[in-house]
Structure 1
Amino acid sequence: MNASINSSSYPQLASSSGFTLIELMVTIAVLAIIVSIAAPNISTQLANQRVKSTTAILNNALKEARTESVIRRQPLVLSYDNNSDDSGIIEIKTAATINTYSYDAKSIIKPPQATITFEPSKRVDAAVTYTICDSNSVGSPRQIMVSAVANITSQLGGTC
């Protein structure tokens, strides 16, 4: 009696252990569909995050330059350089460099001029609008406006 129970249960165990080739192929196909839907959204989110980060860095640098020019009672120049391979550079300087910021090399800052001078009288040499874009064109650009009286505002928008 024991031999008949053991011989009938063995084929059932062998047939239910593991996956068939069809089951594996269907699972891989479903995963491929999910990844193809999610991949464009992830790249857009990464591009938008780089733009937000660069906007925050530039905004902080502009505010620091404005404040430092009043505290030091001398004009300060803020300049940037997009041409670096690893990261872009924003510098605040008089005769010597006061502070340096770096931002992602995939972010691009587009103003009509590469420098802006903050005066101790809480003014700038010329009003400027910076547009921050990502090298991946799917990212949403942002703008930072510096008025003639050194008022700094940020908003979503602009063209790259």
Structure 2
Amino acid sequence: MRASKNSLSPTIQMRSSGFTLIELMVTIAVLAIIVGIAAPSISTQLANQRVKATANTLANALKEAKVESVVRRQALDFSIDDSTNLISIKTKGVSPDEVARYSYSSKSIIKAQKSSITFNPSKRVDAIIYNICDKNSSATMQVIVTAVANISTVVGGAC
């Protein structure tokens, strides 16, 4: 035979009624403290990821410009436009054709001594160092291009 809820004593009914308001408030307060501690770490990780993604995009674009200049047997201009967050590769000449275009995060900053460089079919280029930074963080990386068009990515640098 089953006992109905009405036949239970009042103390048993009170125990099985659920969580109290104080228990819920304490749980929410603990969760808020944990989130408050974790939030700065998460934003730093996101900034680091943005810098890494921009550095990889830049390195891939540089490698494509190097290869395309050899394949096409002509000089190619490689330029970065910070106002539009675009990287472009164009043929050199009177009427330049766009070979490729890359975009990168608007929260990333790419700094260099020159805004454009020229890749020659002889695998020569002006040596340059690109510094990549995040606007909201101190995360930095460098993409280094040597005179013989070797391209490498390292952590560090300054903007």
- Please give the TM-score of this superposition, normalised by the length of structure 2: 0.89
What SS class does the counterpart of residue 104 from structure 1 fall into?
Answer: coil
Secondary structure at the aligned position of 1:113 is classed as coil
Deviations 1:107-140 (A, max 9, x none): 111111111110111001x2100011111124x2
Aligned to 2:41: 41
Shift of 1:93: 0.4
Q: Which moved more, 1:16-25 or 1:60-69?
A: 16-25
- Of 71, 89, 92 in structure 2, the residue corresponding to residue 92 of structure 1 is 89
Instruction: Note the C-alpha offset of 1:145.
Output: 0.6
Which residue matches 1:120? 121
Whichever residue aligns with residue 158 of structure 2, its letter is T
Other-structure match for 2:155: 156
Task: Return the alpha-carbon distance in structure 2 between the equivalents of residues 35 and 81 of structure 1.
Answer: 38
SS at match of 2:24: helix
Please state how far the C-alpha of 1:69 moved relative to its aligned partner: 0.5
Q: 3-state SS of the aligned residue for 2:144? A: strand
C-alpha deviation, 1:153, in angstroms = 1.0
1:6 deviates by 4.5
> CA–CA distance in 2 between the matches of 1:8 and 1:61?
75
Q: CA deviation at 1:14?
A: 3.7
The amino acid across from 1:71 in the alignment is V
Amino acid at match of 2:124: R
Measured after TM superposition, the shift of residue 18 of structure 1 is 2.2
SS of the residue corresponding to residue 99 of structure 1 reads strand
Map residues 107-146 of structure 1 onto 2, 5 A cutoff: 107-124=108-125, 126-138=126-138, 140-146=139-145
Residue number in structure 2 paired with 1:64:
64
Give the match's secondary structure for 1:19: coil
Say what the alpha-carbon RMSD is for the aligned residues.
1.9
Q: Tell me the distance in 2 between the aligned counterparts of 1:6 and 1:99.
A: 77
| Counterpart for residue 104 of structure 1 | 105
Percentage of identical aligned residues: 61
Name 1:82's counterpart in structure 2.
Answer: 82
CA distance in 2, matches of 1:65, 1:8: 81
Quote how far apart the aligned CAs of 1:11 are.
Answer: 4.5
Write the distance in 2 (CA, Å) between the matches of 1:70 and 1:43.
Answer: 41
Q: Which residue of 2 aligns with 1:28?
A: 28
